[in-house]
Structure 1
Amino acid sequence: MPSGHGKSLWALLLFLLIRRLQGSCQSAGLCCPGRNLSCVTQGWRLDRSYGDCFCDQACISTLDCCHDYNTACPAVPCLVSEWTHWSGCAEPCRATVRVRQRMILDEARNGAPPCPALQENAGCAEYHDQERQCRQTLVPALITTGGYGNARKKREAPENGDIAGYCVEFQLTSLTEGCHRSEGVHTRWMQYLREGHHVCVECQPPALSAGQTHCSGDGENATEDGNVSLQWQAVGNPRCRGLWKRVRRQDSCSCPSVHSFLFI
């Protein structure tokens, strides 16, 4: 038979065990979002101290959660829907943005990471409205590096061998900082664009298809005094765009390798 002292010790251990079982998020039926000072009971905390312990989401940062918080209130990740289809361009005849969205199906709970972005934007250009073709000064020229043209010429030569391309010389008058921050393998060429430089842009198939006389955005129908600013947009980086002025058209292309580009 245990002695009186032994009985007292067992009684104390049993009392503490009962208190531990009672003083928990699960037994109290508590599991609260955010910071809630009323979401509290008494019991053992995660740091093995005894006293007031909380079952709200804030207890993770305040370090006063009840010992069973993680099992009674497991983190529930945010659940979002699939992306919608991309919208049309915000405005016709301009380089603007298109949008796609998704919605929250189930909010994040119990310390799970917050929901991801619900909207994405991307560069966008529509060259025609429903009634007429856009004015040339409003149509941004989409360009890529001239190095892409070598393979493209080989692919298109048999089908478009009877279409004569041409080049247009422009002077860059402005460009955005996004051009100098292009670090990808296929966008690194944008770092070499500089205000004041003259660039040579080729108009060739498939940008120039049968029946067309010029590429979109080449400034063919703009005034020839050289004072009209035309828009351009780099393909692969919507943050790289700017203005240039048309200098002249060259029917016989001899674009230098450094500042040579292609209409898309």
Structure 2
Amino acid sequence: MEFLNISVVLGLFMVAVVSGQDDVQIKHFTGCESAGLCCDAVNNTCYVPNARRIDSTIGQCFCDSRCLQMNDCCVDFEATCKAKDCIMGDWGDWSECSNSCGLGRTTRKRPIIQLPSFGGKPCPTATKEKQSCHGEYGCLQQSVEYSREEIREVGYIIPANFSIYRVSEAYSPQHDIRKNLFFKNFDNIIPRRTAYKALFRVTHAGRGCQKSEWAKVLKKGDQVCVECQPTSMNKRLERCRGHGVFRANTTWKAIEVSHCHGKWEMITHHDQGQLCKLSDHSFVLV
């Protein structure tokens, strides 16, 4: 009797299993889209069994980006898993100079808007740029209250036409490849700061200036443009001595002209990166 009961239970269980098999629906995937597969790089698990390949054969086809090289993609791979190139955003603004008074560094970045996928073009490695800068916003040297050193200095000048900085390509950082040449050859000798200029009004001039062809324009009341160039900058100060103080009288002296010296008032702030227009009234500090 016990054996009979076991047989009946086992028979009912088998019937239930067989009956359950009739309700199971085995879904057949036809490609990457129906299987919901799209994989980047090499992925041996990213495949669809018994589906049509890109070469029109039937079998195990893949949905990873390497399948194009292996020629075993599913037939709908290119339509479903279309390659996406990296998309970069625009460069942002340059940051403030890292040094508020003196030589520093400024940077800018650009964002990655879309990462590459499925074999698309990769993102460039350069997402950040940097360059040297010279901060002046935190300097106290152009405030009369804190500029006693500048006020006491004498600005020694020559005509701008005589400046080697203007006539020698090796010294010019203003154009293309010469900028790199300039910094490479002279980085250990002169500051990396760019040239700057300011306008001065002559308030006094010695009589000896009238004996010189180029210095005779230095007359009381005349306005002159004066440059400070990297080749003349003091390495420690990163500026030219005697470059003036805004709205203050300082002393100047013409090089190799006897008794040609005087006073002038700086009437514009220093204009970084600019040179004076060449004329009889343009000078450089040395």
TM-score range, shorter chain: 0.3 to 0.5
TM-score (structure 1 length as normaliser) = 0.46
Greater Rg by CA = 2
Q: More helix by proportion, 1 or 2? A: 2
